[in-house]
Amino acid sequence: MSTATLNFYNSFSIEGLIGTVDLDSHSFVCIPLSASYTPSAAHSRVSDLTGEVTTDGGARITLTGVTANQSGGIGKFDADDVTYTQSGANDLVIKYFAIADDTPSGDANKPLLGWGLLDNAGGGTPVTVPAGGSPANSIKIVWHANGIFKTILTNA
């Protein structure tokens, strides 16, 4: 079983406050990343990512069922779970994922929200989805019941 914690990129807090990232109306993607990616909170755009998995079932998946709401001082961002299904001759290997705002044109303009480590066996072991399954093997990222993330709003 894989577990993951969402870590925010530094730029997301500012971009959310000034409205560059609109959780209510923009489109978002989940991007699978290999072990060659080195996470950094300083990354701010999709063009900062390395090791994007684009073969054997790896691809950017548009988040569906996106909701962003606030009630009683708690903000919540959620979406349907994401499934990567192995295809092709090789295993599908994913170590990290990133969530990005897909609305702007061009990777240099697409803000990053957060990233997670898919830790299959502890110690940062990537998740491997073997080739050749029938039906095809897959990995599903199941977001927490409380949403992908939530914020608690307080008066300063």
What value does the mean pLDDT take over residues 8-28? Answer: 85
pLDDT at 156 over 60: no
Dist. CA 13–CA 85, nearest whole Å: 32
Q: Are 140 and 83 in contact (CB under 8 A)?
A: yes
pLDDT at 121 over 70: no
* Chain Cα centroid distance, residue 133: 25
pLDDT at 1 over 60: no
Q: Are 60 and 98 in contact (CB under 8 A)?
A: no
Phi then psi dihedrals of residue 151, to 5 deg: -125, 150
Dist. CA 127–CA 124, nearest whole Å: 9
Q: What is the dihedral sign for C-alpha 62, 41, 15, 111?
A: negative
CB atoms within 10 A of CB 28: 22
pLDDT at 2: 53
* pTM for the whole structure: 0.90
pLDDT at 63 over 50: yes
141-154: pLDDT as tens digits: 999 888 898 888 77
CB atoms within 10 A of CB 54: 11
Q: H-type helices in the chain, by residue range?
A: 10-18
